[in-house]
């Protein structure tokens, strides 16, 4: 029986544009982005989502998103993920160690949206609606969960199932966060 693998695709949380002279790579999270990360961190804890490996763009906003999620996973900051296309992210995923059962990628649009739309097959009316919503807009701070039954090197378009699409705005605001 094949091993089911999970891929969590996260778009960094909302970044700040307060300093127009700041290089794009160095933009931090905005207050709204920090709050969204707190909500997503609570969601990850509540759902016991614990990826074995996190691949994160080197941009400041993605690193701050990673830090805010509070994951206890091996995290690799990869400069190549900043500005990467969906195909380049997929090529990186194909190099994941075979033993890794779950991986989270924290990156940027349009690559995150295109990666999910390219890999995912939706089963059922609810999943088709979620995939259509995701294809139209992959908001900052959102996370898509994909499952598939092949080894990482064999991951191809249309091979994964979209099992969840969570937006910070859809999460409860009264989770006890201050």
Match domain 5-13+27-170 to its CATH number in 3.40.720.10, 3.40.50.1240, 3.40.309.10, 3.30.70.20.
3.40.50.1240
Beta bridge partners of 143: 10, 166
Contact 63, 77 (CB under 8 A): yes
Query: Could you tell me the residue ranges of all domains in the chain?
Result: 5-13+27-170
Taken in order 86, 88, 92, 95, the sign of the CA dihedral is positive
At residue 176, the pLDDT reads: 44
Write out the two tokens for 35. Answer: 């709050």
At residue 177, the pLDDT reads: 42
Low-confidence ranges of the chain (pLDDT < 50): 175-178
pTM over 0.85: yes
At residue 124, the pLDDT reads: 77
Question: What are phi and psi for residue 75, nearest 5 degrees?
Answer: -120, 130
Contact 5, 18 (CB under 8 A): no
At residue 175, the pLDDT reads: 46
At residue 37, the pLDDT reads: 97
How many C-beta neighbours within 10 Å does residue 28 have?
A: 16
């Amino acid at each position: 029986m094949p091993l089911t693998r999970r891929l969590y695709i996260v778009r960094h949380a909302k970044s700040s544009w307060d300093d127009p002279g700041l290089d794009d790579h160095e933009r931090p999270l905005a207050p709204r982005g920090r709050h969204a990360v707190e909500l997503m961190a609570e969601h990850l804890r509540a759902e016991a989502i614990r990826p074995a490996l996190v691949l994160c763009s080197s941009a400041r906003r993605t690193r701050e998103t990673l830090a805010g999620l509070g994951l206890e996973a091996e995290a690799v900051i990869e400069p190549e993920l900043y500005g990467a296309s969906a195909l380049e992210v997929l090529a990186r995923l194909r190099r994941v160690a075979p033993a890794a059962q779950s991986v989270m990628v924290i990156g940027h649009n349009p690559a995150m949206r295109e990666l999910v739309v390219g890999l995912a097959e939706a089963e059922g009316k609810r999943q088709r609606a979620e995939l259509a919503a995701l294809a139209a807009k992959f908001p900052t701070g959102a996370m898509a969960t994909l499952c598939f039954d092949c080894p990482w090197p064999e991951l191809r378009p249309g091979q994964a199932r979209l099992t969840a699409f969570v937006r910070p705005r859809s999460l409860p605001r009264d989770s006890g966060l201050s």
